[in-house]
Amino acid sequence: MIAKQAFGRTDHSSTRTIFGAAALGQVTQGEADRTLELILEHGINHIDTAASYGEAELRIGPWMARHREDFFLATKTGERTFEGARDEIRRSLERLRVDQVDLIQLHNLVDAEEWEVAMNAGGALDAAIEAREEGLVRYIGVTGHGLGVAARHKQSLERFDFDAVLLPYSYVLMQNEQYAADFEALMAVCRERKVAVQTIKSITRRPWGDIAQNRATWYQPLEDQRDIDKAVHWVLGRPEVFLNTVGDIYVLPKVLSAAERFEGPVSDAEMEAVVGVRHMEPLFTS
């Protein structure tokens, strides 16, 4: 079984591996149904989706009538203004067929100008707070990509007491000294405040570049089970974090298998061997 632990200071004990529903963005309902059955078989009790993940919310919706109590349900709004975020949050509830989500997150909030709009009066944060006051959401988080995200999340936590953050974390990415320093500074704040830390891009091999894309992910993922085992176990070796799964339903079973067999951390030396053999490269370089 995949272990569970407190999701930050919320009242939920989440599986340390969270289902990243970006994988459902461009699949049929039948494919989504089989995928959701799979995550239930593995005991996953936390789904992370977003308004911008294609048809993902619509694919999850039919399951909520029977399984709402089985999942901590999180979604995201990419809108920056109060009106835009308010409307998108309510549209997500309709698409998910629920009266309330557990976590609403300000999606990919890294750009400085967008941050100012979203975080100040009349911005998306105000809409999230209003939704919480109205009982439409229970908790509020913030997510992001890129090399500047850890520092930006720390700034966001200085402005507002978010319940959760989400950002990239992998062995290759943590070889960037500045990113690693920013990540550790963010972790110190999250540890002190009991903010949940979700991580993404754990099995990134490299950008697609000139390689023909054959997966739903916007990066080339690791695909060999042994490589995925090491990458997943390296992330899970850090006990404070959660690992959000891959955005491809056909690679997902390997990630779940790796998570279920986690017994302890993988060393940096073991990861270096994978990096060398698979020619792994950073996904974010600027």
Q: Residue 43 domain-assigned? A: yes
Mean pLDDT of the chain: 96
Quick check: is 284 in a domain? no
pLDDT per position as a tens digit, 214-229:
888 888 899 999 999 9
Instruction: Name the nearest CA neighbour of 172 among 285, 261, 17.
Output: 285
| Residue 285 resides in a domain | no
pLDDT band of 159, cuts 50, 70, 90: very high
CATH number of the domain bearing residue 79 = 3.20.20.100
**Host domain of residue 51:** 4-278
- Count of helix runs (H) and strand runs (E) in the chain: 10, 12
pLDDT at 209: 85
Q: Is residue 87 pLDDT above 90, yes or no?
A: yes
Each residue's pLDDT tens digit, 122-139: 999 999 999 999 999 999
Give 190-200 pLDDT, tens digit per residue: 999 999 999 99
Q: Give the pLDDT of residue 68.
A: 97
Give residue 250's identity as a one-letter amino acid code: Y
- Residue 278: exposed, middle, or buried by beta-carbon count in 10 A (0-12, 13-18, 19+)? middle
Q: For residue 79, is pLDDT > 90?
A: yes
Please check the confidence at residue 286 and state whether its pLDDT lies above 80.
no
pLDDT score of 212 more than 90: no
Q: Do you know the residue count of the chain? A: 286
* Domain count across the chain: 1
Q: What is the mean pLDDT of residues 111-118?
A: 98
Is residue 130, in this structure, part of any structural domain at all? Answer: yes
| 211 confidence band (pLDDT: 50, 70, 90) | confident
**Statement: the pTM of the whole predicted model exceeds 0.95:** yes
Question: What does the pLDDT look like over 240-282, one tens digit per residue?
Answer: 999 999 999 999 999 999 999 999 999 999 999 999 999 989 8
